[in-house]
Amino acid sequence: MVVILLKMLLLRLNTSLVNLLNLDQTQLAEYFVGLGEKPFRAKQLMRWMHQRGMHDFTQMTDIAKSLREKLATEAEISLPFVQSEQISNDGTRKWLIGTDTANSIETVFIPEDDRGTLCISSQVGCALACTFCSTGRQGFNRNLSAAEIIGQLAIANQSLRQEAGYDMLPVGERIISNVVMMGMGEPLTNYDNVVTAMQIMLDDSAYGLSRRRVTLSTSGIVPAMDRLKEDCPVALAVSLHAPNDELRDVLVPINKKYPIKELMMACNRYLEKAPRDFVTFEYVMLDGVNDTVEHAHQLLEVIKNVPCKLNLIPFNPFPNSGYETSKLSHIRVFRDILMQAGYVVTVRKTRGEDIDAACGQLAGKVLDKTKRALKKIPIEAVA
Catalytic residues: 106, 359
Phi then psi for 141, rounded to 5 degrees? -115, -60
* One-character DSSP codes across 144-163: PPHHHHHHHHHHHHHHHHHH
Question: Residue 139: enclosing H or E segment and its boundaries?
Answer: none
279: Cβ contacts below 8 Å, ≥ 6 apart = 236, 237, 238, 267, 270, 271, 306, 307, 308, 309
Query: How distant, in Å, are the alpha carbons of 67, 283, 353 from that of 326?
Result: 59, 12, 16
Give which of 305, 296, 308, 307 is closest to 338, Cα–Cα.
296
- Rounded Cα–Cα distance for residues 75 and 5 (Å): 21
d(CA 367, CA 102): 6
For residues 176 and 110, the answer to whether their CB atoms sit within 8 Å is no
